[in-house]
Amino acid sequence: MPVGSVRCHPALLLLLLCSARLWAAEISCRNEEGEVVDWFSLYKLPKHVKGEIPMLGLEYMYMDTLAPQWQLSKYLINMTQGALGQTLMQLYDTYESEKNSIAYAIYNDEVPKSDSNAWKRGHTKGFLLLDKSQGFWVIHSVPLFPPIPEDGYQYPATGETYGQTVICITFKYDQFTELDQQMLSYNPGIYSCSIPDIFQADLPNLQKLCAGSRLPSGPLRHLSKLQSAHGETFLHFAKSHFFIDDIYVAWMAQELKTDLLSESWQHSGQKLPSNCSLDYHVYNINLIQTPLNSTFYSINDHSKWAVSREYKDQWTCIGDLNRAAEQAWRSGGFICTQNEHIYKAFRHLITHYESCSEASTLL
């Protein structure tokens, strides 16, 4: 067929436009090109980094299903063009126009434009958006973030100095029922939400939390197996504030049967040392080196994650709680995966961690 005879048939064009629209309407984690991705993770670097990268405290490393290795983003975290902005914009853009068919919740123990610290609620930060087909869940470590939909995308200045982690996972609708069950132990401090009645049967706990009601007391802790839209397995650990212990040592390491290296906020006066008391040990990381060869000390990091010490175990967990004594009294959780790319990306960052004997000599 001569090239000249190829014409765009009107019906075909319409079909293309329609499928583009459908594609665009699919609620999903978005990458830095605005494309749908099964998951992404980003690591906002602290201001105090030694190395080549100019440090405003807004630069971040990014990876997703399509590009599963850390890359320095061409965007800054305060820009809507990045994956976090693109993903959140779906919430900001769609919920006004499609109020009755879309559910969302935004939670944080430190609420933007508010002095109240929701200490009775979980030490948890995140947001989710879904319709009856699918949606996403973002878990992050940034205080005072994100703004409510009325205010639009902004990144708080208070989130610049320290490192922060973010993970986004796309789930089919049925997984949100499972996630709703986690709320009984997780008890997030929701500050902006809409859970229309069509979701009542499947998301009863989120709906109650959204309405400001108390939930019946749930299990002390609950482990939930979730599948991403593309079939990747994630485990979600949720502990209530009645499970009074260090989630890393007392639960995650023993449950996953793996020694963990943990990175978390270590400014607290009640910082917990590396712990080798139980079958599986947990060691505090103290120095990070990025693939761009810049380094930073864990004291400059507000992120919360842990990885298996041994490469064969391959666990990565990203979540809400620090290794600090007072966090035993808080609810919160971690999402864990054995995805080899996520594991390698985080495991390779670790340059030094504190052994148990070092910890005791420091005491």
Ligand X SMILES: *[C@@H]1O[C@H](CO)[C@@H](O)[C@H](O)[C@H]1NC(C)=O
Active centre residues (catalytic): 302
Rounded to whole angstroms, how far apart are CA atoms 88 and 153?
A: 8
64 vs 246, beta carbon nearer ligand X: 246
Rounded to whole angstroms, how far apart are CA atoms 186 and 166?
A: 18
Q: CB of residue 92 vs ligand X: minimum separation in angstroms?
A: 15
Q: Contacts with ligand X: how many residues (CB under 6 A)?
A: 13
Q: Which two tokens stand for residue 166?
A: 């973010």
20 vs 56, beta carbon nearer ligand X: 56
DSSP 230: T
Q: CB of residue 57 vs ligand X: minimum separation in angstroms?
A: 9
283: alpha, beta or left? (left if phi > 0; alpha if psi -120 to 50):
beta
Q: Do the beta carbons of residue 139 and residue 125 sit within 8 Å? A: yes
Q: CB of residue 44 vs ligand X: minimum separation in angstroms?
A: 12
78 vs 134, beta carbon nearer ligand X: 78
DSSP characters for 162-214? SBEEEEEEEEETTHHHHHHHHHHHH---EEEEE--GGGTTT-HHHHHHHTTPP
114 vs 293, beta carbon nearer ligand X: 293
Q: Which two tokens stand for residue 279?
A: 């079958």
Q: Do the beta carbons of residue 100 and residue 132 sit within 8 Å? A: no
Q: CB of residue 78 vs ligand X: minimum separation in angstroms?
A: 4
Inter-CA distances, 92 with 130, 135, 147, 226, 342, Å: 13, 14, 10, 26, 28
Among 250, 260, 285, 345, interactor with ligand X by CB under 6 A: 250
Inter-CA distances, 327 with 181, 320, 331, Å: 22, 10, 8
Q: CB of residue 160 vs ligand X: minimum separation in angstroms?
A: 8
Partnered with residue 289 across adjacent β-strands are 295
Amino acid at 193: C
Among 5, 277, 312, 362, interactor with ligand X by CB under 6 A: 277
Q: CB of residue 22 vs ligand X: minimum separation in angstroms?
A: 30
Site string for ligand X, 29-58 (x = CB under 6 A): ---------------------------x-x
C-alpha atoms less than 13 angstroms from C-alpha of 259 in its C-beta half-sphere = 16
Stretch that binds ligand X, among 124-132, 182-190, 195-203, 243-251 (CB under 6 A): 243-251
Among 53, 220, 292, 299, interactor with ligand X by CB under 6 A: 292
Q: CB of residue 293 vs ligand X: minimum separation in angstroms?
A: 4
Work out whether the CA dihedral 4, 8, 12, 17 comes out positive or negative.
positive
Q: Which of residues 166-195 bind ligand X (CB under 6 A)?
A: none
Among 35, 245, 255, 354, interactor with ligand X by CB under 6 A: 245
39 vs 283, beta carbon nearer ligand X: 283
Stretch that binds ligand X, among 9-17, 161-169, 241-249, 260-268 (CB under 6 A): 241-249
Quote the distance between the C-alpha of residue 274 and its chain's center: 24
156 vs 196, beta carbon nearer ligand X: 156
Cite the beta strand spans of the chain per DSSP E. 29-30, 36-37, 39-44, 60-64, 71-72, 103-107, 126-130, 134-140, 164-172, 190-194, 221-227, 233-239, 260-263, 282-289, 295-297, 305-308, 316-319, 332-337, 350-353
Stretch that binds ligand X, among 30-38, 39-47, 246-254, 306-314 (CB under 6 A): 246-254
131 vs 221, beta carbon nearer ligand X: 221
Q: Which two tokens stand for residue 338?
A: 């054995």
Site string for ligand X, 69-108 (x = CB under 6 A): -------x-xx-----------------------------
By CB under 6 A, residue 249 contacts ligand X: yes
By CB under 6 A, residue 220 contacts ligand X: no
Q: Give the interface with ligand X as residue ranges (CB under 6 A).
A: 56, 58, 76, 78-79, 245-246, 249-250, 275, 277, 292-293
